[in-house]
Amino acid sequence: MVRKLFCAVALILITANAQGDETMKIKVSGVQMPVSSNLEENLPTLLKHIEESEADYLLFPEMSLTGYHGDFDQEATEKAWKEIAEACKKSGVTCFIGTGCKEGEDTFIQTRIYSDEGELIGTHEKMVPTSGDRNFCVPGKELRLFSHAALPFGTLICNDYWVTPGCGPYPDPRLAFQLGEKGARVIFQAIHSGSGQLHTPYHESNLVLRAMESKVYVVTANAADPKGPVNAATGLISPEGEWLVQVPREGEQVFVEEIEVNIGAVR
């Protein structure tokens, strides 16, 4: 109820800081969780975290609903989307759900955004899938800016953000920078990057530097890896490039943090 009230009066809660900029306070949350290859195992975990969430915006890892593969049942997946939408409405939380999605002959790696009223705000399809991803999916074509309760934001999926060397010779479109230029104030980054520690410095320096370059908060949520600590932290980065939160790198973890976001004129 408190979160629904927040969204209903968001414009009233917008304040001006000492510099005269309009700001708003929101609670963001990321869930680091083990991701099974089976939707039936993942869905109860997602629903549990939605039900228990104390945040306004709740982020889950890449493909955390269907599992990280293309061999999922679209009908069962769509049924799960409806359950998730109802849970968001009941709990009054806006959620970013990592899922697979089949449209005709094409399979996408997708993030679906459901509002605190259970409505689909929009979707983002992974635009820079790795060479491994492309064995079962095709790239998304459109970078979208979203807005909800006066907050302009974007969402990216794993390799979209950093285009890791060795994961395919693909051009880096600097999607985080593009979202910053469009006016995003927060980027929600769903990840499923594994535990190969060779990649850790690259992933995390990119998370920090691109947050700074784009002047955005970055919320991250990685899938817990049974082989060891994740190589990109679940947490929160400020527009100044400071890690405000990092959860432990192994097992199921959750953070909730309040941030004050400048929602003044688009840059």
CATH number assigned to the domain comprising residue 147:
3.60.110.10
Rounded Cα distance, 207 and 236, in Å:
10
Number of residues in the chain:
267
Residue 19, domain member (yes or no): no
Report pLDDT digits (tens) over 141-190: 999 999 999 999 999 999 999 999 999 999 999 999 999 999 999 999 99
Rounded Cα distance, 202 and 234, in Å:
15
3-class secondary structure, 121:
strand
pLDDT at 21: 76
The mean of the pLDDT values for the chain is 93
pLDDT at 105: 96
pLDDT at 14 > cutoff 90: no
Largest Cα separation within the chain, whole Å, is: 54
For residue 178, the enclosing domain spans 31-251
How far from chain centre, in Å, is Cα 98? Answer: 8
- 107 and 70 in contact (C-beta within 8 Å)? yes
Residue 15, domain member (yes or no): no
Q: How many domains does the chain have?
A: 1
Residue 169, domain member (yes or no): yes
pLDDT at 117 > cutoff 50: yes
For the segment 69-85, the average pLDDT, to the nearest whole number, is 98
* Pairing status of strand 120-125 against strand 235-237: unpaired
What does pTM read for this prediction? 0.93
Residue 199, domain member (yes or no): yes
Q: Which DSSP category does 145 fall into?
A: -
pLDDT at 15 > cutoff 70: no
Report pLDDT digits (tens) over 221-247: 999 999 999 999 999 999 999 999 999
Residue 108, domain member (yes or no): yes
